[in-house]
Amino acid sequence: MLLIGLIGFFVAATIGYVVIRFGHVHAHFSADHDIDSPQKFHSTPVPRIGGLPIFVAFLTSLTLGCWLGKISWTESVLLLACTLPVFGAGLLEDVTKLVGPMPRLMASFLSASLGFYLLDGGVFRLDILGVDFLLGYWPVSLLVTMFAVGGVSHAINIVDGTNGLAGGISIMIFAALGYVSFQVGDTFLLAVCGAIAGAVLGFLVWNYPRGLIFAGDGGAYLLGFLIAEVSLLLVKHPEVSPWFPLLLVSYPVVDTIFAIYRKRVIRGKSPGLPDGLHIHMLVYKRLVSSGGLSWDKNNHLGRNSRTSPYLWFLTLIAIIPAVIFWKQSEILMIVFALYFLLCGYFYVRIVKFKTPKFFARNK
């Protein structure tokens, strides 16, 4: 399995270098020139097709695993087929800038439906009395599955706002999923986690801290979909709590819930419209840029990269108990509720320029 991850790392790093090296050839369609958007923190156009090296590296790693006889060709091909709609829609947006949030969300629903039928990857239980009874009906399970997979895919795309943020979070999540896959003896899911984690690490060579390439919508939606799909397949093992993967993705999910409430309820606008009030944006603007952590206020790249570790830490607060209590739904439910309150407290405090002391530091 280590070899599968290493191959993913080297393939992604190599292709990423080629994309950057010949950026002048494809920059007119691949670069992110919209540097004035409220969700953009870079100051020069950057290639946003980093999802391509991640996908190719993932494909190469799975092919190697199948060729070595470590994993099934059938499962691998079916999983890759399920990724195509959501990855394709994201990559098309990266190169055309014409695919809006709704078509990308529909593509994630299509990928979720393919996973439901081809891999039996669905939400069939939540360990909640009454809800599990309803999930026993396949139309209900399919709708909930589409909502869950689409939500996670979109959530990872939302938090992909600073160098290394989505990539670092994804690696931690895949490491946790891989650990539990190992515990239950699921070789296929362990290989998938190793392959995609290696690919993301190779991408991060160029993305963090220098920001020479971005994952783009293709990369973010691919990672979000794979996180969701691996989670659904892992929860098919009866000993794994369905709240385990939910707690793993709690930071991006909570940030998405805050965004929907802020835009739809408070402002009366479409949730798909961009704004500058996501948690990572507030950390960048009000903690890193203007607080005691701004060692060089003219170093835009440095401030961008220093933002991500604080959100990695916020993510780890949820991941660590999830890994410890991965079998125990009752405990995970309580932890999820406490984590939601923690994020809400942190969000309100930073909005009011009263960042909690444990997150801030004076010069």
* pLDDT tens-digit series, residues 302-319: 778 889 999 999 999 999
Q: Which stretch of DSSP H or E encloses residue 282?
A: helix 279-282
Q: How many Cα atoms within 13 Å fall on the side-chain side of residue 341?
A: 6
Q: What is the DSSP string of 296-352?
A: -TT-HHHHHHHHHHHHHHHHHHHHHHHHHTTT-HHHHHHHHHHHHHHHHHHHHHHHT
- 8 Å CB contact between 32 and 40: yes
| Overall average pLDDT of the 34-62 stretch | 80
Answer whether residue 362 shows pLDDT above 60: no
Answer whether residue 293 shows pLDDT above 50: no
CB-based burial of residue 107 (10 Å sphere; 0-12 exposed, 13-18 middle, 19+ buried)?
A: buried
- 8 Å CB contact between 256 and 280: no
pLDDT digit string (tens) for 261-279? 888 888 877 777 777 788 8
Answer whether residue 356 shows pLDDT above 80: no
* pTM, full prediction: 0.92
Output the pLDDT for position 361: 52
| Overall average pLDDT of the 91-107 stretch | 93
Output the pLDDT for position 13: 98
Answer whether residue 292 shows pLDDT above 80: no
